[in-house]
Amino acid sequence: MIDLEQIYTELRKFWDRLWSERNIRLLLFMATIFTIIIIFLIGLFVFMESIPTYTSGVFWETLTQLDWSPSYKHYGVLPLIFSSILVVGIALAIATPLGILSAVFITEFAPKKLRDLLESLLELLAAIPSVIYGFMGLIYLVPAIANTFGLSSGRTALAGGLVLAIMVLPTISSISTEMMRYVPQAYREVALALGATKWQTARSVVIPTARSGIVAAIILAFGRAIGETVAVLFVCGASGSFPAFPFIFEPVFPLTAVIAMYMGESVVGGELYSVLFYLGVILFLISIGINLLADYFVHKAKEKMEVGVVL
Amino acid sequence: MNLIRKKRRITQDLIVGILLGIPPLVLIGILLYLLSTIIITGFSYLEPQKLFMSIIDGGYLEAILGTILLLVGGILFALPPAMATAIYLSEYASRSSRIVRAVELAINTLASIPSIVLGLFGLALFVKIMGFGISLISGWLTLSIMVLPILTRSIEEALKMVPREFREVAISLGASRWQATTDIVLPAAGPGIITGIVLGLLRVAGETAAILFTACVLTAVGIPISPLQPVISLTYYLFVLLFTSPDPTYSRAFTVASILLLIIIILDIALVVLRRLYRGHVRVYL
Interval A277-297 mean pLDDT: 93
Q: What is the pLDDT of residue A170?
A: 92
Residues of B in contact with A197 (CB under 8 A): 9, 12-13, 16
Interface of A with B in 59-118 (CB under 8 A): 98, 101-102, 104-105, 109-110, 114, 118
Preceding peptide of B230 cis, ω within 30°: no
Distance from the A14 Cα atom to the nearest Cα atom in chain B, whole angstroms: 18
Is A287 an 8 Å CB contact of chain B?
A: yes
Residues of B in contact with A36 (CB under 8 A): 102-103, 106
Percent of chain A with pLDDT over 90: 39
Residue A17 has pLDDT above 60, yes or no: yes
Using the 8-state DSSP alphabet, how is residue B117 labeled?
H
* Rg value, chain A, Cα: 26
How many CB atoms lie under 10 A from the CB of residue B262?
A: 14
Residue range A23-61, pLDDT digits in tens: 888 889 998 899 999 999 999 999 999 998 888 888 888
Q: What is the pLDDT of residue A1?
A: 64
pLDDT band at residue A172 using 50, 70 and 90 as cut-offs: very high
B38 and A122: CB-CB below 8 Å? no
Q: What is the pLDDT of residue B283?
A: 39
Using the 8-state DSSP alphabet, how is residue B85 labeled?
H
Distance from the B52 Cα atom to the nearest Cα atom in chain A, whole angstroms: 23
A109 and B13: CB-CB below 8 Å? yes
Residue A310 has pLDDT above 60, yes or no: no
**3 state SS for chain A:** CCCHHHHHHHHHHHHHHHCCHHHHHHHHHHHHHHHHHHHHHHHHHHHHHHHHHHHCCHHHHHHHCCEEEHHHCEECCHHHHHHHHHHHHHHHHHHHHHHHHHHHHHHHHCCHHHHHHHHHHHHHHHHCCHHHHHHHHHHHHHHHHHHHHCCCCCCCHHHHHHHHHHHHHHHHHHHHHHHHHHCCHHHHHHHHHCCCCHHHHHHHHHHHHCHHHHHHHHHHHHHHHHCCCHHHHCCCECCCECCCCCCCCCCECCHHHHHHHHHHHCCCCCHHHHHHHHHHHHHHHHHHHHHHHHHHHHHHHHHHHHHHHHC
A295 and B129: CB-CB below 8 Å? no
Interval B222-226 mean pLDDT: 81
Higher pLDDT, A197 or A95: A95
Higher pLDDT, B219 or B208: B208
Q: What chain B residue is nearest to A20 in terms of C-alpha separation?
A: B178
Q: What chain B residue is nearest to A110 in terms of C-alpha separation?
A: B17
Higher pLDDT, B2 or B46: B46
What 3-state class would DSSP assign to B95?
A: coil
pLDDT band at residue A96 using 50, 70 and 90 as cut-offs: very high
Higher pLDDT, A97 or B221: A97
A125 and B23: CB-CB below 8 Å? no
pLDDT band at residue B286 using 50, 70 and 90 as cut-offs: very low
Distance CA A95, CA A169 (A): 5
pLDDT band at residue B284 using 50, 70 and 90 as cut-offs: very low
| Summary mean pLDDT of chain A | 88
- Mutation target among A34, A107, A124, A290 for the B interface, most CBs of B within 10 A: A124
How many CB atoms lie under 10 A from the CB of residue B34?
A: 15
Q: Transcribe B37-73 into DSSP letters.
A: HHHHHHHHH--GGGGGS-GGGT--HHHHHHHHHHHHH
pLDDT band at residue B285 using 50, 70 and 90 as cut-offs: very low
pLDDT band at residue B279 using 50, 70 and 90 as cut-offs: low
pLDDT band at residue A306 using 50, 70 and 90 as cut-offs: low
Residues of A in contact with B120 (CB under 8 A): 46, 49, 259, 276-277, 280
Distance CA B253, CA B245 (A): 8
Residue B1 has pLDDT above 50, yes or no: yes
Q: What chain B residue is nearest to A46 in terms of C-alpha separation?
A: B121
Q: What is the pLDDT of residue B59?
A: 83
Query: For residue B231, which phi and psi values (nearest 5 degrees)?
Result: -130, 180
Interval A284-297 mean pLDDT: 92
Amino acid sitting at position A16: D
pLDDT band at residue B282 using 50, 70 and 90 as cut-offs: very low
From the list A131, A226, A295, the residue facing B105 with the nearest CB is A295
What ipTM does this complex have? 0.90
Higher pLDDT, A307 or B275: B275
Higher pLDDT, B8 or A99: A99
B239 and A131: CB-CB below 8 Å? yes
A153 and A195 Cβ atoms separated by less than 8 Å: no
Distance CA B111, CA B114 (A): 8
**CA angle (B6, B10, B11) in 5-degree steps:** 120
Interval A298-302 mean pLDDT: 83
Q: What is the pLDDT of residue B245?
A: 65
Distance from the A27 Cα atom to the nearest Cα atom in chain B, whole angstroms: 8
Interval B247-271 mean pLDDT: 89
Interval A244-260 mean pLDDT: 86
Q: What chain A residue is nearest to B21 in terms of C-alpha separation?
A: A105
**3 state SS for A123-149:** HHHHHCCHHHHHHHHHHHHHHHHHHHH
Interval B88-100 mean pLDDT: 84
B116 and A123: CB-CB below 8 Å? no
| Summary mean pLDDT of chain B | 87
pLDDT band at residue B91 using 50, 70 and 90 as cut-offs: confident
B282 and A154 Cβ atoms separated by less than 8 Å: no
